[in-house]
Structure 1
Amino acid sequence: MKTKFINFLKLVFPSSFTELAVFLFFITCYGVLGSYIAIHYRIIFDNRIPWDAYFSFDNKSILMTGGSFERHPLSYYFFNWVREFALFISGGKMDAGFRLTLAWLSNIIISLNILQVFKYLKNIINLPLPLSLLLVLFFGMFSTNIILSFTPENFTYTLFLLSLYNHYAAIQLKKEEKTSALALSLAGITIGGLTITNFVKVFIPLLFEKNLFKNWKKIGSAAVRVIIAVICYVLLYLNRIDFKYQAIFSKTNQQYEKFSNVESMPTWDMILSFFFGGNILFPSFIISDKHNMKGFNFKALYMDLYTSIFPYIFVGTILILISWSYIKNFKNKWVQIVMLSFFIDIIIHCVMRFGLHTSYIYGGHFVFVYPLLIGWLLYAYGSSPKILSFLTVTISVLFIYLLANNWFRMSEFFWFLENYYK
């Protein structure tokens, strides 16, 4: 047990000088951003604003209740700990100290998420250090990472847990070892407990265990592990709602109807601007008048569709790169795991249209797949200097454009804070 615990710590936290440098760089950058927002503005947490202050995140609602049980079955318990810890640090007050604690918890988690991607690029794909650093710098500037680095939300912790589990599962496959029932159950409870649609992703790596479909004993072993994980999850879920399982179906239907019937924008544009684009490259913003249904009016910020050709070119290039990677590495089991996980989100949001008009907030479920797939593409052309150089230059240009765009949009975000959330 001691060895497993030490290995777990090495998996989650920096275990080399380079990893420590990457972690410290991002925790410093995100820390400065989050600290400034927490100290000078009240947008991270305001008792009067339960939801939607910026980009449809539900900060207060999530912190106080864990979110709706049909979408976030077990997050109630997790956010009780987060809230109580923040109150302990702030002396029981929901003031700047409370907001600062919440921001730093998010900052640490997102920095650890960046670290997981770096470890995967370095240890699983075995990319050269300069390329790994380029990809994590690129990934670190994604709009999802920037916003979640100071946002106390389910997505913040889900993003880290998914990237951590993908890294862990990749290591197990590389060592040709199976994922234990304990690890599978813990992953299901934590990942699926924060957001139910991610529960099925936990079982995808099992499909690629060595000789699984050539040996009945291995199939049986995998089935038993899955059954144990499902039983643990279902029992905890039912206990959370006092075993009133009928409520799950009625509430789920209500949520689907509420978040899937938006006709004000073209579907193709929402897919490009919000689902594929808004998680990486900020579009322009819209300010809206909102109220908390208790007499308090406030201003809310939403993302708009892209209005220039350049963001569409950017998003199109990203899609070409990840599609190219998938085709080139089609027989690679690690790539298949990443893409199958991504396909689940594409089906939910693009095909079923759930939350498509605000799908940029769901980036915490999948944005880590972009640097991983691009990393596999670079690996596939490691022996082709010309193509590798072309890809490196392309990613560098994309990074420069991403940095300039998101820096500018964050200045607009600060204008919004300065005018409405002092």
Structure 2
Amino acid sequence: MSKFKIKFIQFFKLIFPSTGIELIVFLFFLVSYGYLGSYIAIHHKIIFDSRIPWDAYFSFDNKSIVMSGGSFERHPLAYYFFNWIRELALFFSDGKMDGNFRFALAWFSNIAVSLSVLQVFKYVKNIIGLPLIINLLLVLFFGAFSTTILLSFTPENFTYTLFLLTLFNHYSAIKLKKEEKIPALALALSGVSIGGLTVTNIVKVFIPIAFERDLFKSWKKFGNAAFRVIFTCICFILLYLNRIDFKYENIFNKTSEQYEKFSNVKSTPTWDMILSYFFGGNILFSNFILRDKHNMQGYNYKAIVMDVYSSWIPYIFITVLLTLIFWSYFRNFKNKLVQVLMISFLFDMMIHCIMKFGLHTSYIYGGHFVFIYPLLLGWLFYSYRESPKILSFLTVVFSIIFVYLATNNYLRMNEFFWFLNNFY
């Protein structure tokens, strides 16, 4: 068998189910999310309405993203990707932007998110090596997050970013566990695809490189790593500049403009936005409020957005979850795979919590980091595999927050459907 064919088969097995249990997990979420997205696409117009460019629900920019891929300074290469998505959806709907068009868009999102959940399952099963029952609980927990539920039918950059980041983290973990380096072409492809959809995420592609074996003990290995990083940056920069006809000054002007627009909201205390939006809203739905919007062309419409939590219970939930996450980090501090996950997470914290970029709507950025939670929880369970009492305690705590998460998000989704039934 040729080397290329072997690589292709390995790549196929990496992305798609390769065992019976993986197929069951994938199909379970594909059917669950598929039913939800199909119903919304067929009976409601909110997934794509040509009159509404942005913000109809939870600040997602569905129409804008589908038609253009989003702003070039934040999503530099998304234009090309969503051209394919849009044309495929139009092919399915015979060129009409109707219910069939929405149905196709919803199923593209469904497949991407279901594959993302599969990547998380593969990671906890193959990399961490947890018992099957814990693996299943972790992916069910992840699958019930507000981010995964919403992205499963939403045509957005974050939908596909979630898949690409979970895939890359799984792939890089395999390489680090085997003490192998990430090949230059694989790194460049990851950098272009992940950074192309959201420019800041390209940094996350380089984090695993810093943990390759003996990197800082050998000039040869360090030089090779530097070459791979530089090669990836050159590929990305050239494609980025080509996208904007090499008018690089537009990048700085637009970036500054976007930062001012999305970083100067003072209506809510910063600590509450951090807990309710950045750490909370991506996982646990908060209260919903309705707002009046317009498309700047004379069309007015209703929008639904998240408010901060109004009860003390969600704050307790978030506090407990964060305690478990940081407990896992410090417990596994010497584990390079855990360091990769946490450094990536800290990068998002810096952008949204410290620099405050989009902090008031940070619940929509969940696709960049929510998968970190089940993975770090998995490492926490693994670290106490020989301590039955602590493992039992963790299982009880996790089960309680899991039940609360599922109940809360189910009830909130009922409220979301009330919104759909009344306005869309």
* Separation (CA, whole Å) in 1 of partners of 2:149 and 2:392: 28
How far is 1:17 from its partner?
0.3
* Paired AA for residue 82 in structure 1: I
Q: How many residue pairs are counted as aligned between the two chains?
A: 421
| Distance in 1 (alpha carbons) for counterparts of 2:85 and 2:343 | 32
1:8 paired residue number: 11
Once the two structures are superposed, residues 150-202 of structure 1 have per-residue CA deviations (whole angstroms, 9 ceiling, x without a partner) of: 00000000000000000000000111110000000000000000000101100
Distance in 2 between residues matched to 1:176 and 1:316, nearest whole Å: 35
Distance of 1:177 and 1:170 partners within structure 2 = 10
Partner of 1:338: 341
Shift, 1:371, TM fit: 0.2
Q: Secondary structure at the match of 1:214?
A: coil
In structure 1, how many angstroms separate the alpha carbons of the residues matched to 2:14 and 2:7?
Answer: 10
**For 1:289, what is the secondary structure of its paired residue?**
strand
Matches of 2:342 and 2:186, distance apart in 1: 22
Counterpart of 1:173 (choices 176, 191, 209) is 176
Cα distance in structure 2, aligned partners of 1:176 and 1:344: 24
- Residue type of the partner of 1:316? T
- 1:100-143 deviation line (CA, Å, top 9, x unaligned): 00000000100000000000000000011000001000000000
CA distance in 2, matches of 1:111, 1:376: 22
Q: Which residue in the other structure is 1:412 paired with?
A: 415
Q: In the alignment, which residue of structure 1 is the partner of 2:321?
A: 318
Tell me the SS of whatever aligns to 2:216. Answer: helix
The residue type equivalent to 1:52 in the other structure is D
In structure 1, distance between residues paired with 2:86 and 2:268: 37
Tell me the distance in 1 between the aligned counterparts of 2:195 and 2:314. Answer: 33
Q: Give, in angstroms, the shift of residue 411 of structure 1.
A: 0.2
Aligned equivalent of 1:350, options 320, 340, 353: 353
Query: In structure 2, what residue type is equivalent to 1:294?
Result: Q
Structure 1: any 5+ residue segments left out of the alignment?
none
Q: For each residue in 1:272-329, what CA deviation from the matched residue of structure 2 results, as whole angstroms up to 9, or x when unmatched?
A: 0000000000001010000000000000010000000110000000100000000000
Q: Taking structure 1 as the reference length, what is the TM-score of the superposition? A: 1.00
Percentage of matched positions with identical amino acids: 71
Trace 1:292-307 onto structure 2 (pairs within 5 A).
292-307=295-310
Map of 2:135 onto structure 1: 132
Note if 1:46 corresponds to 2:59: no
Aligned-partner Cα distance in 2 for 1:202–1:11? 17
Q: Deviations over 1:41-75 (max 9, x none)?
A: 00000000000000000000001011000000000
- Separation of aligned partners in 1, 2:52 and 2:351: 28
One-letter amino acid matched to 2:377: I
Q: Partner amino acid for 2:152?
A: S
1:198 aligns with 2:201: yes
Q: Secondary structure at the match of 2:135?
A: helix
Q: Which residue of 2 aligns with 1:207?
A: 210
Match runs of 1:49-64 below 5 Å: 49-64=52-67
Where does structure 1 differ by over 2 angstroms across 4 or more consecutive aligned residues? none
**1:200-256 Cα shifts (integer Å, max 9, x gaps):** 100000000011111000000000001110000000000000000000000000000
The secondary structure found in structure 1 opposite 2:130 is: coil
**Deviations along 1:313-348, whole A, 9 cap, x unmatched?**
000001000000000000000000000000110000
Aligned mates of 1:361, 1:55 — CA distance in 2: 7
Q: 2: distance between equivalents of 1:390 and 1:12?
A: 34
Q: Following superposition of structure 1 onto structure 2, how do residues 267-278 of structure 1 map, counting pairs within 5 Å?
A: 267-278=270-281
Q: Which residue of 1 aligns with 2:237?
A: 234
Cα distance in structure 1, aligned partners of 2:157 and 2:14: 22
The one-letter code of the counterpart of 2:60 is F
Structure 1 residue 121 and structure 2 residue 121: aligned? no
Alignment partner, residue 265 of structure 1: 268
Which residue of the partner structure matches residue 246 of structure 1? Answer: 249
2:130 partner amino acid? L
After superposition, residues 382-393 of structure 1 pair within 5 angstroms as 382-393=385-396
Write the letter of the residue equivalent to 2:142: F
TM-score (norm 2): 0.99
* Distance in 2, Cα, partners of 1:338 & 1:311: 25
Give the counterpart letter for 2:353 in structure 1.
C
Query: Which residue of the other structure, out of 36, 55, 73, is the alignment partner of 1:70?
Result: 73
Distance 1:305 1:173 in 2: 39
Partner AA of 2:135 in structure 1: S
1:368 corresponds to which residue?
371
Distance of 1:147 and 1:391 partners within structure 2: 28
Structure 2: tracts of 5 or more residues without a match: none
Q: How far apart, CA to CA, are the structure 2 residues paired with 1:193 and 1:301?
A: 29
Please give the alpha-carbon distance, in whole angstroms, between the structure 2 residues aligned to 1:397 and 1:231.
48
Decide which of 184, 189, 195 is 1:186's aligned counterpart: 189
Distance (whole Å) between structure 2 residues aligned to residue 102 and residue 206 of structure 1 = 35
